[in-house]
């Protein structure tokens, strides 16, 4: 069963791609069926773990054995990997089914469905790994698949640029992860998780010199691992690829943001909790970066107009929540939010895709509005997703997001208190931009000048059915799994898959603190409706003032422009210099161009002797004989 969960998506990717020339819906059906079977089996494995405590490590084969270096290809099923299996396969199955309708008019559907399945397989290989090398294989696999899917519409220059950007930015993070793995093997002599984590206490006081600075070995390893997590999970400074990734088809965005790719970084930090728990410096760094990412992405989302980019920045912000939860030591709460977030974020992305489908590929929310009666099912599903994302009481986001803020508050540290304040502020901003998207999309006046409202239409059943199941998850998964994943007896579930050096007690929380975030979230609803629908002149006048705040947020804190000035532009100048002076001016000039010109010159001159007259040929022979005799006499 465990083997089927992992390899059915790979089989679907291969068969779906090779079978693209068979019947019309062959690739869509075969890939969706295999992923769906994998999802059902994943739920069964998760259920067995909860009820019967059945886990195990299933060795497939010995991958590498060279001296002390050994790495197996295994399927490691423990509580952490079992919950990730459910998230990855279930969301992926719904995205596959949704894609049948969304991509129905695309001529390259088989390739798309094959890429989706390969993406899923890569993520599954990552989460069930029992060593850093297999994890790195899956890590690079999801990076490759994201490149293929973001640039799926390769005839668009913007899609190609976005794919390249995602690939390059992730290489920065991947380089950090690779260095961390190298250091682990150099000092620990192994890359297997269990062996590394068992040896970790022996290296607590170990100091090493790194570029002239003395540092704790554990801290250095954790920082490099976290750099890898920052790139994959789009944390501040390595986040720039995520909004541009919206150039890919909407189902890709849902899969990247809800189940694969960006969740890999959170999974890595939680998986390596036995390392991070012994480095307060690394945990502080995780907390700080998570806090900055959460507030940064939420502030930028306030003013974006592309419906998918708003949801993308929302993902970035929610990942910040997960990281600062891990940073304060609440790893299980970070995973709980990852679990609930998968449902409502996939719901929001696929719901946005339904809106885009209805508006014939329009993505600007300023060109929407007034279609709640034309798109009744999409309207309800987007409403549920928005309520869950904002943390409205008793929906899934309420249980997980508020738990993160509460655990940060209970961590009894100055940084934890700052994280709680940032978490509350971000929750309020999240509610503002989420309701802005919802109201401007469905309420108010119809603003599209090129498409009549009569031409908008509800999505087909094959697209609405996945939204229904995601809506069920967005409503109930927080309530149903709160006690199991973060309750007082949650250790009975997590066991040794998550390590706590000092567990945070989830009690003695003031009532005012418990009510603060939900009250702000609810208050944001009438405020958003008033400013974005009822009285838009106030915000319009604010935009027209000379205050730089609006442009600062609209331009995403100018991070891309900063990178362009300090990295991209200088590298382009250096590359241009070596290309013009090196390649063209030296190599080409004296190499292929120089030789070819000389050959051409000599052949042109020699061609003049090819006249067909005997005396010309005799003259050439005489000259050749003279040169030969001269050479022999001289030597």
pLDDT in tens, 503-530: 777 777 889 999 999 999 999 999 999 9
Q: Quick count: other Cβ atoms within 10 Å of Cβ 575?
A: 11
Main-chain dihedrals φ then ψ at residue 73, nearest 5 degrees: -100, 110
> Which of the two residues, 193 and 578, has the higher pLDDT score?
193
Query: Which pLDDT belongs to residue 546?
Result: 65
CA distance to 191, 195, 228, 563, per residue, from 178 (Å)? 12, 18, 8, 23
Query: Which pLDDT belongs to residue 542?
Result: 75
Label residue 281 exposed, middle or buried (CB < 10 Å: 0-12, 13-18, 19+): middle
Question: Going by C-beta distance under 8 Å and a sequence separation of 6 or more, which residues neighbour residue 607?
Answer: none
502: pLDDT strictly greater than 80: no
607: pLDDT strictly greater than 80: no
pLDDT band at residue 635, thresholds of 50, 70 and 90? low
* Helical (H) or strand (E) element with 227: helix 217-232
Query: Distance between CA 614 and CA 630 in Å, rounded?
Result: 24
Query: Distance between CA 534 and CA 604 in Å, rounded?
Result: 82
Question: Going by C-beta distance under 8 Å and a sequence separation of 6 or more, which residues neighbour residue 218?
Answer: 200, 203, 204, 206, 275, 278, 279, 282
What tens digit of pLDDT does each residue of 520-562 get? 999 999 999 998 988 888 887 777 766 788 888 888 899 989 9
53: pLDDT strictly greater than 90: no
pTM as predicted: 0.90
> Taking residues 566-586, what's their average pLDDT?
81
Query: Which pLDDT belongs to residue 155?
Result: 83
Question: Going by C-beta distance under 8 Å and a sequence separation of 6 or more, which residues neighbour residue 550?
Answer: 303, 542, 543
What tens digit of pLDDT does each residue of 464-479 get? 999 999 999 999 999 9
What tens digit of pLDDT does each residue of 73-130 get? 899 999 999 999 999 999 999 999 999 989 888 888 889 999 999 999 999 999 999 9
501: pLDDT strictly greater than 80: no
- The mean of the pLDDT values for the chain is 89
Provide the sign of the torsion angle of the four alpha carbons 56, 61, 63, 66, taken in this order. positive
The structure tokens 């002076």 sit at 581
Question: Going by C-beta distance under 8 Å and a sequence separation of 6 or more, which residues neighbour residue 519?
Answer: none
Query: Distance between CA 35 and CA 85 in Å, rounded?
Result: 12
The structure tokens 């100091």 sit at 207
Q: Which of 221, 332, 195, 333 is nearest to 276 (CA)?
A: 221
Length of the chain: 635
User: Tokens for 233?
Assistant: 């999970």
Query: Distance between CA 263 and CA 254 in Å, rounded?
Result: 12
Query: Distance between CA 464 and CA 504 in Å, rounded?
Result: 41
**pLDDT > 70 in the chain, percent:** 98
21: pLDDT strictly greater than 70: no
What tens digit of pLDDT does each residue of 213-247 get? 888 999 999 999 999 999 999 999 899 998 888 88
592: pLDDT strictly greater than 80: no
Query: Which pLDDT belongs to residue 596?
Result: 73
348: pLDDT strictly greater than 90: yes
Q: What's the DSSP call for residue 131?
A: B
Q: Which of 413, 253, 428, 455 is nearest to 324 (CA)?
A: 413
Q: Quick count: other Cβ atoms within 10 Å of Cβ 299?
A: 20
Query: Distance between CA 400 and CA 585 in Å, rounded?
Result: 61
User: Tokens for 551?
Assistant: 């442009």
Provide the sign of the torsion angle of the four alpha carbons 547, 552, 553, 555, taken in this order. positive
**pLDDT > 90 in the chain, percent:** 56
Query: Distance between CA 516 and CA 406 in Å, rounded?
Result: 11
Query: Distance between CA 192 and CA 583 in Å, rounded?
Result: 46
Tell me the three-class secondary structure of 58-71, residue by residue.
EEEEEEEEECCEEE
Q: What's the DSSP call for residue 247?
A: G
């Amino acid at each position: 069963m465990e083997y089927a969960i992992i390899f059915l998506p790979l089989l679907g990717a291969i068969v779906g791609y090779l079978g693209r020339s068979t019947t019309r819906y062959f690739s869509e059906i075969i890939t969706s069926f295999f992923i769906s079977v994998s999802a059902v089996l994943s739920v069964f494995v998760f259920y067995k773990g909860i009820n019967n405590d059945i886990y195990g490590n299933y060795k497939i084969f010995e991958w590498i054995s060279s001296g002390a270096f050994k790495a197996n290809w295994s399927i490691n099923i423990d509580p952490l990997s079992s919950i990730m299996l459910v998230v990855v396969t279930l969301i992926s199955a719904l995205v596959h089914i949704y894609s049948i309708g969304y991509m129905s008019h695309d001529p390259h559907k088989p390739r798309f469905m094959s890429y989706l399945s390969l993406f899923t397989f890569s993520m599954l290989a990552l989460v069930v790994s029992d060593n850093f090398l297999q994890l790195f294989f899956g890590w690079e696999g999801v990076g490759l698949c994201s490149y293929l899917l973001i640039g799926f519409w390769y005839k668009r220059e913007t899609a190609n640029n976005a794919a390249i950007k995602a690939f390059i930015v992730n290489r920065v993070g991947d380089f950090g992860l690779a260095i961390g793995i190298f250091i682990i093997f150099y000092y620990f002599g192994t890359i297997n998780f269990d062996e590394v984590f068992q040896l970790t206490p022996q290296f607590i006081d170990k100091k090493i010199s790194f570029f002239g600075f003395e540092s704790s070995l554990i801290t250095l390893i954790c920082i490099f691992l976290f750099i890898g997590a920052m790139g994959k999970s789009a944390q501040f400074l390595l986040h720039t690829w995520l909004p541009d990734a919206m150039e890919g088809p909407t189902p890709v965005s849902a899969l990247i943001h809800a189940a694969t790719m960006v969740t890999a970084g959170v999974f890595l930090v939680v998986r390596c909790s036995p390392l991070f728990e012994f480095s307060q410096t690394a945990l502080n760094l995780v907390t700080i970066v998570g806090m900055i990412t959460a507030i940064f992405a939420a502030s930028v989302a306030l003013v974006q107009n592309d419906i998918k980019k708003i949801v993308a920045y929302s993902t970035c912000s929610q990942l910040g929540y997960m990281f600062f939860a891990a940073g304060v030591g609440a790893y299980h709460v970070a995973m709980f939010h990852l679990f609930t977030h998968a449902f409502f974020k996939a719901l929001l992305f696929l719901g946005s895709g339904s809106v885009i489908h209805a508006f014939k590929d329009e993505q600007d929310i300023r060109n929407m509005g007034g279609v709640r009666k034309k798109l009744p099912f999409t309207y309800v599903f987007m409403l549920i997703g928005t309520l869950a994302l904002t943390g409205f009481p008793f929906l899934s986001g309420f249980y997980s997001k508020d738990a993160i803020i509460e655990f940060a508050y209970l961590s009894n540290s100055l940084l934890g208190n700052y994280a709680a304040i940032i978490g509350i502020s971000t929750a309020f901003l999240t509610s503002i931009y989420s309701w802005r998207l919802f109201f401007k999309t469905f309420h108010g006046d119809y603003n599209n000048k090129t498409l009549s409202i009569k031409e908008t239409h509800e999505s087909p059943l094959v697209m609405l059915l996945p939204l229904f199941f995601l809506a069920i998850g967005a409503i109930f998964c927080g309530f149903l799994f709160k006690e199991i994943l973060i309750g007082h007896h949650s250790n009975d579930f997590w066991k040794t898959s998550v390590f706590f050096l000092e567990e945070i007690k989830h009690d003695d929380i003031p009532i005012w603190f418990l009510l603060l975030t939900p009250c702000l979230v609810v208050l944001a609803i009438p405020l958003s409706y008033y400013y974005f629908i009822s009285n838009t002149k106030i915000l319009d006048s604010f935009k027209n003032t000379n205050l730089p705040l609006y442009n600062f947020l609209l331009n995403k804190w100018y991070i891309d422009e900063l990178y362009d000035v300090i990295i991209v532009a200088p590298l382009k100048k250096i590359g241009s210099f070596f290309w013009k002076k090196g390649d063209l001016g030296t190599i080409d000039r004296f190499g292929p161009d120089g030789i070819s010109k000389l050959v051409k010159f000599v052949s042109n001159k020699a061609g003049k002797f090819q006249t067909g007259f005997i005396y010309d040929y005799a003259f050439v022979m005489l000259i050749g004989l003279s040169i030969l005799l001269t050479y022999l006499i001289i030597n």
